[in-house]
Chain A
Amino acid sequence: MEWLDYTVLRVIWWALLGVLLIGFAVTDGFDMGVAALLPLVAKTETEKRLAINTIGPVWEGNQVWLILGGGAIFAAWPALYAVSFSGFYFAMFIALVALILRPVAFKFRSKRECPKWRAAWDVALWIGGLVPALIFGVAVGNVLLGVPFYFDDNLRPFYTGTLWGLLNPFALATGVLSVLMLTVHGALWLGLKATGPVRARAAHYARWASLGVALVFIGLGVIVHQVLPGYVITSDIVTDGPSNPLLKTVAVMDGGWTQNFVTYPLMWIAPIAGVVGILVARVSLAMHVDWLAFIGSKVSIFGIIATVGLTMFPMILPSSIDPKASLTVWDASSSELTLGIMLGATVLFLPIILAYTAWVFKVLFGRVTEEYVEKNADTLY
C-alpha cells in the first residue's frame, strides 16, 4: 500500500478524529440532550421515568464514543491531548464532575422511591447533560480563537490562560450553539421514542430551538469568516516530517479561516449540510415524520462539526501567544507506525461496533409508553 504514507495517514486520522467527535455528538449527544431537557419535557414522576427510559438501555454504549475519542486523541494526537487537557484544566475538571454524576444518576435514581432522593438525582442528570454540552462547545470556540500556550525546547507544554479567560463572548456563543444542537437532537429522539405529553413538549421545544440552531450557526459562521483572524502556516509545509510543532512558522491573519473555502469550494457542502439538515428536521417535525427529523438533526450535527474542522485545516490547536507552537495535522500526530497500527485496529473493529450497536438499537425498537414504565417499575430506571 504505497499510497498509505505518513501524509495520508495523518489526514485519515484527522478525519477519524472528526468521525469520533461526530459519533459522540450524534449518539451520546441525544442522551445529553434528553437529560438537559428533563425539567422542561417531563413534569410527573412517570413522565420523568418515561423520558429517562428512552435512553436507559443505550446511553452506556453511546458514552463509549467519548471514551474512545479520548483514547484516540491520546494515541493519534498526543500533543493535542497533552496541551488541551492540561490547559483547560478547570473546565475539564467541571466536565469530569458532570460526567461522573451522569452514570451514577441513571443507576441510583431508581433504587429508592423517596421523592427527594429522585429529585436530587434529576438535578444530577440535568447537570450531567447540560454541563458537558456547554463546556465542549465553549472549548471549540476557544480553539477557533487560539489558546494561550507555548512549548519549551523539550516540548513541555505551558498554558498561561485562566478558566475565566475561556468564558469570552464568542466562546459562550459556540457553547450556546452546542447546547442548542444537542438539546434539539435529544428532543427529536424523544419525538421518536417517547409518547404522550413528553413527546408533545419535546416536539414543541424542537420546533423553536431548531430555528435557533440554524440562526446561531449562520451568525457564528459570518463572525468566524468576517471578523476572526485565522492562523496560517507561513514556512514551507512539510507533510511527512517529524511531529515537532516548533519546526515551522505561523502567522495570524485576517481571513485566515476563509482560505480553505476559497481554495476548495467543494467544502461548502459542510456548512450547507449543517443548515439544510436542521431545516429538514424542522419541516419533518411539522409533517410528523419523526425518523426523518432525527436523521436531519444527525446530518446537521455532522455538517456543523465538519465545518469547524475544515475551517481550521491543517490547524488543530492554534496558539494565541506563540503561533509557531500551534498544533497542526502535519506536526502533532503520533509516529507513522502508531498511526498505521491504530488505523488497522479501527478498520477491524469499527464495522463490528457499528454492526452490534445497530443490532442493539433494533432489539430496542419501539416507543416507550407510560404503561410500560409503570408496569416495570422494578426492572427499569
Chain B
Amino acid sequence: MIDSGLVDLSRLQFAMTAMYHFLFVPLTLGLSFMIAIMESVYVMTNRQVWRDMTVFWGKLFGINFAVGVATGIVMEFQFGTNWAYYSHYVGDIFGAPLAIEGLMAFFLEATFIGLFFFGWDKLTKVGHLVVTWLVALGSNFSALWILVANGWMNFPVGSEFNPDTMRMEVTDFWAVIFNPVAQAKFVHTVSAGYVTGAMFVLGISAYYLLRQRDVEFAKRSMTIAASFGLASALSVVVLGDESGYSVSENQKMKMAAMEGMYETLPAPASFTLIGLPNEETRTVDYAIHVPYVLGLIATRSLDEEVPGILELVEHAVVRIENGLIAYDALEALKADRANAVARARFDAHKEDLGYALLLKQYVEDPRTATPELVAQAAWDTVPPVAPLFWTFRLMVALGFLFIAIFAYAFWLVARRQHTAHRWFLWTCLLSIPLPWVAAELGWFVAEFGRQPWVIDSVLPTFLAVSSLSYGAVLTTLIGFVVIYSTLAVIEVGLLRKTILAGPYHTPQPPKDSTSGEFAPAYGK
C-alpha cells in the first residue's frame, strides 16, 4: 500500500512549485501582449515615448520571464521525478501536448526573446516589431498546449485503457486538442494573464502619477492598461471556465462542491450567492440564493437540471461496482493475455476501472472490499466543500472588482483625467497583487476540486506518485522552498529597484518631447 505521507508530500511539492511557477506566467502572458501593442504604436507614430515604454516594460518583463523559465523547467521534469506512475499511465496522451508546446510555442518565444532584448540596433523597426509579436504569440501558444494537457486531466477524452500495456492510450487526438474543458480553460487563463499584466502596468503608472514623475510616460501606459485591462477583465468573467463544468461527472461534482449543493436542484437552478457550507448536515446554512443564475451559467439553459452531491455519489457507487468487474477481468488478462472472455468483459467495463482503483487506498485487492468501503470510496469522490465554496466566491468577487477598477480607469483616461482622484490612483497601486491572488485561487478551485483524481475518473492521485522515500521528497521539498524563497526575494527586490529607478533613470526626456506638458513633470 502506498504511504499516504509520501502522497501528501508529493502533492505539496507539486502544488508549491506549480503555484510558484504561476506567479510568473500570467505576467508574461499579459505583459508580452501589452509590450507588442506599445511597440506597434511606436512603429506607427514614430514617437520616442512609445519606444521608451516598450523598453521599460520589456525590462520588467525580462526579469519576470527569467524566473518563469527557471521554474518551468522544474514543472516539466517533476512529472517524471515525482509522478512516475502517472507518467507511465498517461504519458501516451499527456506527453504529446507538452512536446508540441516545445516545438510550436516555446522555441518561438525563447529564440526571439534574445533578439527582443539585443536586437534593437541589429534589426529594422518593423523587423523588431515582428520579433516582439512572435514572442507574445509564442507565450500564448505555450499556454494553449499546457492547458490542452491540463484540460485532459480534468476531462480525459479521446483515450482508453490498454490492458496489454497497462496504461491509457490515445484513440482520438483531435478530441484531446478540441476538448471543451481545455478550450474554456485556455480562454479563461490567458484572459486572467492579461488582467494581471494590465493591473501591473496600471498600478505602477498610478504610482508614477502619484509621485508626479514621468507623467507623459505614465499617462500613456495607464491608457493602454485601462483599455486592455477592461477588455480582459470582461472576458475573464464572461468566459469563465464554468462552461466546462457540465461535461463530465467529476466536473459536475466539482461544481456541486463549489456551490455546496448536496441536493439536485430543479431546473433552472438558483445560485448560492453566499452562505455557510456545513459538511455535517450536508446543507448550506444562512444561504442567499439568486434564482436561475446557476442553471444559466452551468447548463446555458433553463430546463436542464444541475445534479447535487448526493446524486453524484450514488452514481459513483454504481461506477465502483462496474469498475470492480473491469478490475477482475484485468487480473484474469494479466494471468492469460489470450483469455478472450476476460478481454470482452474488460472492454465492456473499462470506462469504470479508475473507480475500482479508488479502493486501493483501503485494500490491496479492491475485489475484497466490503460494501461499507465501497460507500466510503464513493464519498471520496466528493472534494472538500468548504474550501472550494469560499475560494470560488473570493475569486469571482475579485473578478468583478477588476471590472469595476478597469471600467473606471477607462472612463477617466477616455476623458483625459488620469490624475483626477488620488484615492483611485492609490486603489490601482494597491490592487497590483490582487490578480495573482485571483489566479492562484482559480487554480486551487480547478485542481483541488479535481481531487481525489489526478486524471478525472481514470487514476486516483494517491496511486500516481513515484515509489520514493518520504525522506527523499522531504529533502527536495525543503530544497525547493529555500531556493524559491531566495529567488522570490531577489526578484521582487530587482523589480522594485527597476520600478523606482523609472523609465528615465539616466534622465533624458524623450527626443520628440515637443509638447510642453513634459516640463511640469520634472519640475515638480
Query: Besides A83-B84, A335-B170, 17 other CB < 8 A contacts?
Result: A63-B69, A68-B99, A68-B107, A71-B102, A72-B102, A78-B95, A82-B85, A92-B80, A99-B73, A100-B73, A104-B67, A111-B497, A112-B494, A156-B84, A244-B165, A337-B173, A341-B173
Within 8 A of A (CB), among B89-109: 91-96, 98-104, 106-108
Contacts A103-B69, A156-B85 given: A71-B76 contact, CB under 8 Å? yes
B400 CB to nearest chain A CB (Å): 36
Ranked 5 nearest A-B pairs via Cβ: A78-B91, A85-B80, A75-B95, A57-B114, A61-B111
Assess whether A356 is interfacial by the CB under 8 Å rule. yes
**In the complex, which of the residues A66, A90, A103, A153 contacts B70, with contact meaning CB atoms closer than 8 Å?**
A103
B292 CB to nearest chain A CB (Å): 43
Interface-lining segment among B119-127, B340-348, B382-390 = B119-127
Q: Are B66 and A82 in contact (CB under 8 A)?
A: no
Contacts A60-B110, A103-B69, A342-B96 given: A335-B162 contact, CB under 8 Å? yes
A13 CB to nearest chain B CB (Å): 11
Q: Are B110 and A61 in contact (CB under 8 A)?
A: yes
Residues of B within 8 A of A103 (CB): 66-67, 69-70
- Contact flags A357-381 to B (C-beta < 8 A → 1, else 0): 1001001100000000000001110
Can you name 14 A-B pairs with beta carbons within 8 Å? A70-B76, A71-B100, A75-B91, A101-B70, A104-B70, A107-B65, A154-B166, A156-B84, A242-B162, A338-B93, A349-B100, A349-B103, A360-B115, A364-B118
Q: Are A244 and B166 in contact (CB under 8 A)?
A: yes
Residues of A within 8 A of B509 (CB): none
Within 8 A of B (CB), among A167-198: none
Give the interface size class of chain B.
35 or more
Within 8 A of A (CB), among B447-488: 466-468, 472, 475-476, 479, 483, 487
Q: Are A64 and B111 in contact (CB under 8 A)?
A: yes
Interface centre among A67, A153, A154, A379 (most CB of B within 10 A): A67
Assess whether A313 is interfacial by the CB under 8 Å rule. no
B259 CB to nearest chain A CB (Å): 36
Q: Are A379 and B103 in contact (CB under 8 A)?
A: no
A140 CB to nearest chain B CB (Å): 17
Residues of B within 8 A of A15 (CB): none
Residues of A within 8 A of B166 (CB): 154-155, 244
CA–CA, A81 and B76, complex, Å = 11
Interface centre among A57, A58, A92, A158 (most CB of B within 10 A): A57
- Contact flags A102-115 to B (C-beta < 8 A → 1, else 0): 11101110011000
Give the interface size class of chain A.
35 or more
Residues of B within 8 A of A346 (CB): 103
A116 CB to nearest chain B CB (Å): 14
Assess whether B63 is interfacial by the CB under 8 Å rule. yes
Contacts A156-B85, A334-B91 given: A106-B66 contact, CB under 8 Å? yes
Residues of B within 8 A of A (CB): 62-63, 65-67, 69-74, 76-77, 79-82, 84-85, 87-88, 91-96, 98-104, 106-108, 110-115, 117-120, 122-123, 162, 164-167, 169-171, 173, 334, 466-468, 472, 475-476, 479, 483, 487, 490-491, 494, 497-498, 506
Q: Are A104 and B487 in contact (CB under 8 A)?
A: yes
Assess whether A316 is interfacial by the CB under 8 Å rule. no
CA–CA, A364 and B120, complex, Å = 11
CA–CA, A61 and B122, complex, Å = 18
Q: Are B95 and A71 in contact (CB under 8 A)?
A: yes
Q: Are B74 and A96 in contact (CB under 8 A)?
A: yes
Contacts A156-B85, A334-B95 given: A57-B76 contact, CB under 8 Å? no
CA–CA, A337 and B103, complex, Å = 18
Assess whether A93 is interfacial by the CB under 8 Å rule. yes
The secondary-structure label for the interface of chain A is helix
Q: Are A82 and B80 in contact (CB under 8 A)?
A: yes
**In the complex, which of the residues B110, B165, B170 contacts A243, with contact meaning CB atoms closer than 8 Å?**
B165
CA–CA, A244 and B92, complex, Å = 13
Assess whether A237 is interfacial by the CB under 8 Å rule. no
Q: Are A67 and B472 in contact (CB under 8 A)?
A: no
Q: Are A100 and B119 in contact (CB under 8 A)?
A: no
CA–CA, A82 and B170, complex, Å = 18
Interface centre among B66, B114, B494 (most CB of A within 10 A): B114
**In the complex, which of the residues A57, A158, A242, A353 contacts B165, with contact meaning CB atoms closer than 8 Å?**
A242
CA–CA, A84 and B91, complex, Å = 14
Q: Are B111 and A357 in contact (CB under 8 A)?
A: yes
Q: Are A157 and B467 in contact (CB under 8 A)?
A: yes
Q: Are A71 and B101 in contact (CB under 8 A)?
A: yes
B364 CB to nearest chain A CB (Å): 12
Contacts A74-B80, A243-B165 given: A81-B117 contact, CB under 8 Å? no
Interface centre among A72, A103, A244 (most CB of B within 10 A): A103
B472 CB to nearest chain A CB (Å): 6
Q: Are B95 and A108 in contact (CB under 8 A)?
A: no
Name the residue of chain A whose CB is nearest to the CB of B115.
Answer: A360
CA–CA, A363 and B123, complex, Å = 8
CA–CA, A350 and B479, complex, Å = 36
Residues of A within 8 A of B167 (CB): 78, 155
Name the residue of chain B whose CB is nearest to the CB of A154.
Answer: B166
Contacts A157-B84, A244-B166, A341-B173 given: A68-B70 contact, CB under 8 Å? no
Name the residue of chain B whose CB is nearest to the CB of A111.
Answer: B494
CA–CA, A350 and B80, complex, Å = 24
Q: Are B117 and A57 in contact (CB under 8 A)?
A: yes
B481 CB to nearest chain A CB (Å): 12
Q: Are A57 and B118 in contact (CB under 8 A)?
A: yes
Interface centre among B96, B123, B490 (most CB of A within 10 A): B96
Residues of B within 8 A of A75 (CB): 91-92, 95-96, 98-99
Q: Are A81 and B87 in contact (CB under 8 A)?
A: yes
